[in-house]
Amino acid sequence: MLAEHDLAALLEARHTDPFSCLGLHADESGRLWVRALLPGARSVDVLDADTGNRVMSLAERRDGFFEASVPRRKRRFEYRLAVTWHAGVEGAEAEIYADTYAYWPQLEERELQAFASGQELRAYRLFGAHLVTHGEVSGVRFAVWAPNARRVSVVGSFNSWDGRRHPMRHRHSAGVWEIFIPHVSVGDFYKYEIVAADGTLLPLKADPYAFAAEMRPSTASRVAPLPPENPPPRDRARANERHSPISVYEVHASSWRRGPDGGFPSWDELAAALPAYVAGLGFTHVQLMPISESPFDGSWGYQTLGLYAPTARYGPPEGFARFVAACRAHGLGVLIDWVPAHFPTDAHGLRQFDGTHLYEHADPREGFHKDWNTAIYNFGRTEVRAFLIGNALYWIERWGVDGLRVDAVASMLYRDYSREAGEWVPNVHGGRENLEAIALMRDMNERVGEIEGAITVAEESTSFAGVSAPTYAGGLGFHYKWNMGWMNDTLRYMAEDPINRRWHHDKMTFGLIYAFSENFMLPISHDEVVHGKGSMWTKMPGDEWQKFANLRAYYGFMWGHPGKKLLFMGQEFAQRHEWRHEEGLPWGLLDDPRHRGVQLLVGDLNRSYRELPALHRLDCESEGFEWITSHDADHSVFAWLRRDGQGQMVLVVCNFTPVPREGYCLGVPEGPQEWREVMNTDSRHYGGSDVGNGAAPLHVQDRGAHGRRQSIALTLPPLATLFLTPA
């Protein structure tokens, strides 16, 4: 019989090695015993797995602990437990189970060593809840990293959330706990019950590696299959390279269009409408604000606690796979926001996961974000790096997304980010750079860079050098970087009354001083249309006509400017109020021809950007840009050439005053003898006044202007941008 001290430890859920007691064991004399801990069971019989015949009944020794010696058998055998439960516990009829404690360790020693040493790049293949089959028995293998825990149990809908039923096996070499639980299946809810080293019973923890989660405000993890590998589209590498047009439509899935009941849309409802709409406007990519599971709607997903789980807000995870497929079918790439900088401190999450600061730094000067009241990952810890880098690979390889827009990179780069003197810890060299975070990002970008066509985009708001330079050249290895300086400067300019813009002319030109120091993306993101900043339409000065004209001119300026493009949803049709995450976009505005005109313009700008190589091919190289005039502050006129490096050119001209200018003499490069207007943001088609140059060719004249020997005489529409190409 089991020793009394072992029995007491099992009943009190404090036994450090339940596999040494439960299941089938031989005593010192070689006699076989079967033991089971099944609180709530009325009777337990042991059946021969091969024949189904009853071998014996187990006697209840105390409080749901059953045991008995095996008669007439001296060799181990495969068995099942036939369990009848007390009323109100589980089913009234006897149920037959394979015994969890009849199974050997699930993870191989080499796998655990690879994880502990940082050699396992895809730790999600080991951890979480994995559907497996042993012989004819199907179930789930659970594994979790909790090196400082005294005891870890899987609790869930399959065991009455009772931590005594399924305490896990501790694999000491890596601090990993594992267990195979037969008969658990897809859709079952679960958490981890963890006892800290000091004996404290922690709040139930969601699985850091869960592939699905319960709908908030509930917080359980949910068993879901590991998505199969998703091979990249054949043309992904070409579509995402620097020389290709990349125009991104940023989406908050909850509020692009609400579901039929006014709640969250499903992935399938989004797939039926969103990809066609985005592709119809000529965008090349959809970028989704974070879709990993998060507890609070108002964080917009940026405070995530389920990095591996597509949020339950939009239905089951497989719906996201169908959404990605629908985007691919419309020729769109898919980017998702990825948040490795921090995580919220909700009790069911990663904070003090095993009773210690496991995923986060213990010192609040390193481990706590004052701005967001969140915890900061311990970027230098091997197992945390595996968690984060594996997650980056998971979304690309398993869900088929094209890449990641990495959030809050600046907060990761600097130890003194948003901290006063004395509130931060210098690095080992005494500097402010976060060397561990920098190493993590370089490693992550190198791994992502090994996947054909996959890309990463940094939201980085400082002048940190080499964000999009390759790691072998000392850079961080991102493929693109958001140009936050360009965005801030140009929006400040646009907010000025046109009569004052002459005094702020440099705000529109300063960005060209550094425009080719990184592979830049020009972002008009959700951050620019929340927290009292107003919408893009409300940022524009003047009466209603001028607001629309200014906005159209600015979009023309943006699409003609070097750099990839990003526009947040709703701004393509001049949404009037700032974005509200709890409601859908005001689609009724499209009944107004002025709003519809802005939408048509964005579509035509995207098509021009894609169809004219000079507007995109050298987006990131200085050879693709040449000023015609950057000094005409008195008239608030800007003009430049875009080149594709293969002989094609586009001339971009902006007039940021409401004064039309006829006969404006603009210098042009030698060669072409005629130019033709191919885009005019003041066209009546877009709701403008229809001032411009029409379809007739503009003949080059031998009259010098802007330091050039030849020129053309242009009519510049009020508050407008023109694109011209050689006729």
- Residue 155 and residue 167: Cα distance in Å, rounded? 9
Catalytic annotation present for 371 = no
> b/e per residue, 212-241, with b = 16+ CB within 10 A?
bbbeeeebbbbbbebbeebebbeebeebbe
Question: Distance from first CA to last CA of the chain, Å, rounded?
Answer: 96
Q: Provide the token pair at 24.
A: 């089938």
Please report the beta strands in 553-670, taking only residues with DSSP state E, as ranges in sequence order. Answer: 564-568, 625-632, 637-643, 649-655, 661-668
Nearest to 527 by CA among 478, 567, 575, 481: 567
Pairing state between β 564-568 and 520-524 = parallel
- Are the CB atoms for 411 and 369 separated by under 8 Å? yes
- Residue 381 and residue 358: Cα distance in Å, rounded? 9
For residues 395, 317, 376 and 405, what is the CA-based torsion angle, rounded to 10 degrees?
40
Pairing state between β 247-251 and 564-568 = parallel
Neighbours of 340 (CB within 10 A): 26
- Residue 229 and residue 397: Cα distance in Å, rounded? 6
Annotated active-site residue in 407, 443, 578, 682: 407
- Residue 211 and residue 458: Cα distance in Å, rounded? 25
- Residue 671 and residue 652: Cα distance in Å, rounded? 17
Q: Provide the token pair at 709.
A: 């020997």
The alpha-carbon radius of gyration of the chain (Å, integer) is: 31
- Are the CB atoms for 649 and 703 separated by under 8 Å? no
- In the chain, the amino acid numbered 596 is R
Q: What is the DSSP letter of 690?
A: -
Nearest to 550 by CA among 560, 559, 562, 537: 537
Catalytic annotation present for 459 = yes
Annotated active-site residue in 207, 366, 459, 572: 459
Q: Which residues lie across from 37 on neighbouring strands? A: 65
Pairing state between β 41-48 and 79-85 = antiparallel
- Are the CB atoms for 168 and 153 separated by under 8 Å? yes
Q: What is the DSSP letter of 701?
A: B
Nearest to 616 by CA among 582, 592, 645: 645
**Please, what's the largest Cα pairwise distance for the chain?**
111
- Residue 158 and residue 138: Cα distance in Å, rounded? 14
Q: Is 365 exposed, middle or buried (0-12, 13-18, 19+ CB in 10 A)?
A: middle
Which DSSP string do the residues of 709-727 spell out, in sequence order? Answer: SEEEEEEEPTTEEEEEEE-
- Residue 667 and residue 700: Cα distance in Å, rounded? 9
CA distances for 213 relative to 30, 269, 307, 352, 621, angstroms: 46, 20, 10, 20, 44
- In the chain, the amino acid numbered 276 is A
Within 195-329, residue ranges assigned H as helices are 236-240, 253-256, 267-280, 317-329
Cis peptide before 217 (omega within 30 of 0): yes
435: left (phi over 0), alpha (psi -120 to 50) or beta: alpha
- The residues annotated with a catalytic role in the active site are 407, 459
